[in-house]
Amino acid sequence: MRDWHAHDPATFLKIPECDDEFEITSNKSAIDRADAVVFSYAVFDHMKNDYLSYTHSAIRNPNVAFILSIQESEHHNYPMMPKKFDGIFNFIWMFRREAHIHPEFQEMYDKYEKPDEKWNYGSDFSYEFLKAKTKLAAWVVTNCNIQPGGRNEFVEQLRKHGIAVDIYGRCGNHSCEGNYTENNCFPRLGKEYKFYMALENSLCLDYITEKPAHGWENGMLPIIWGVGKKELAAPPGSYIDALEFKTIEELAERIKYLDKNPREYFKYFEWRQLYNTTLSYHAAFHCYAWRKIKKLTMELRANVTANAESAIGIKNLEFWRAYFYNDKLKLNCKNCVEEGVNVTHPNMNLHRLYNNVSKCVEALN
């Protein structure tokens, strides 16, 4: 499989947990012997000529899967995909659940044959676990720009209601030694903090990234600010959904209550009695994606052999472009809460989002 937009394929995309199953490279000269090629939409604007030359090659092998990868939210204002690319890509890889390849994280968790009793409240382990947590909430953030999802204001509102949120990274006054990676900062935070602020930069449908996993993997309770079917990716009873609260004050009171009631707080870790985190988010995300791509590639080859119509690339990218722009109405229609994010009444954002989605669908029909 080839990904032209990997920062360092040898380290970032070389996943030990499934390394023996795949060869990943960003070497464009290897395209003629690839099984699948991943094209990043994030760099499309300044690489479209390269993309065009390779995707429209007269010697393109129909058995090779061409995959369009869209890994950021719609708020990044992706460029329009010209119609000349219709029929080129076989599959779409993005966070939306309608995509052929979308994040699945069930592989992060293995079910124990026997319950792990140390995660029972009252065990020696639970006592030490709670005793070490002397701080309330941590947030690691490196993008200091005002985000369309309103997460900066969300944190400020929580602080106004008495919730101490320590900010790490370039945007805060707290720091970990070295870089802010899973290997150094998050394990340390997990020992000291009860809550982790898992705040997405955009409130877009199904857009849930690695942020909650920083809590699950390191013993913190994630407070999720994002829109998606969290129950499909999360262990049962393992997070707080900020958007379920009518007001920010209600959320703040819930956090305070859990802070003062260790038995109630520890209930959010009862899933650890039954499940073990066997893979990191990074490994689960990419191993699942590579395996899914392998499966789709095999299906594509079978369809090519059978001369099936399904072997033809996506004939019209209009459906996918609609996630970014609505061509018919010539206005933004991005299925996101674009403006006026309501952080004082979080639940209202859901209604606004789904109304926007309905309008987009109606406009395209």
Instruction: Provide the residue-wise pLDDT of the chain in tens; the chain has 365 residues.
Output: 444 344 454 455 667 778 788 888 888 777 778 899 888 887 776 676 676 676 666 567 888 898 988 888 777 666 666 777 777 888 989 888 888 988 776 667 777 778 889 999 999 999 999 999 999 999 998 887 767 778 999 999 999 999 999 999 888 888 877 655 556 789 999 999 999 999 998 888 888 888 998 999 999 999 999 987 776 667 889 999 999 999 999 999 999 999 999 999 999 999 999 887 776 777 778 888 889 999 999 999 888 876 655 556 776 665 565 554 444 444 455 556 666 789 999 999 888 777 776 666 665 55
Three-state secondary structure readout of the chain: CEECCCCCCCCCCCCHHHHHHCCCECCHHHHHHCCEEEEEHHHHHHHHHHHHHHHCCCCCCCCCEEEEEECCCHHHCCCCCCHHHCCCCCEEEECCCCCCECCCCHHHEEECCCCCHHHCCCCHHHHHHHHCCCEEEEEECCCCCCCCCCHHHHHHHHHHCCCCEEEECCCCCECCCCCCCCCCHHHHHHHHEEEEEEECCCCECCCCCCHHHHHHHHCCEEEEECCCCHHHCCCCCCCEEHHHCCCHHHHHHHHHHHHHCHHHHHHHHHHHHCEEECCCHHHHHHHHHHHHHHHHHHHHHHHHHCCCHHHCCCCCCHHHHCCCEECCCCEECCCECCCCCCCCCCCHHHHHHHHHHHHHHHHHC
Q: Are residues 233 and 142 in the same domain?
A: yes
Q: Are residues 12 and 97 in the same domain?
A: yes
Q: Are residues 290 and 257 in the same domain?
A: no
Q: Are residues 242 and 166 in the same domain?
A: yes
Q: Are residues 242 and 357 in the same domain?
A: no
Q: Are residues 275 and 295 in the same domain?
A: no
The domain that contains 270 carries what CATH number?
A: 3.40.50.11660
Q: Are residues 306 and 223 in the same domain?
A: no
Q: Are residues 287 and 274 in the same domain?
A: no
Q: Are residues 310 and 223 in the same domain?
A: no
Structure tokens at 272: 């650890």
Burial class (CB in 10 A: 0-12, 13-18, 19+), 46: exposed
State how many domains the chain has: 2
User: What CA–CA distance (Å, rounded) separates 305 from 274?
Assistant: 45
Q: Which of 240, 259, 280 is the last residue of a domain?
A: 280
Q: Which of 261, 280, 299 is the last residue of a domain?
A: 280
Q: Which of 258, 280, 302 is the last residue of a domain?
A: 280
Q: Are residues 9 and 124 in the same domain?
A: no
Which domain does 71 fall in, by range? Answer: 2-103+283-364
Q: Are residues 288 and 273 in the same domain?
A: no
Q: Are residues 255 and 157 in the same domain?
A: yes
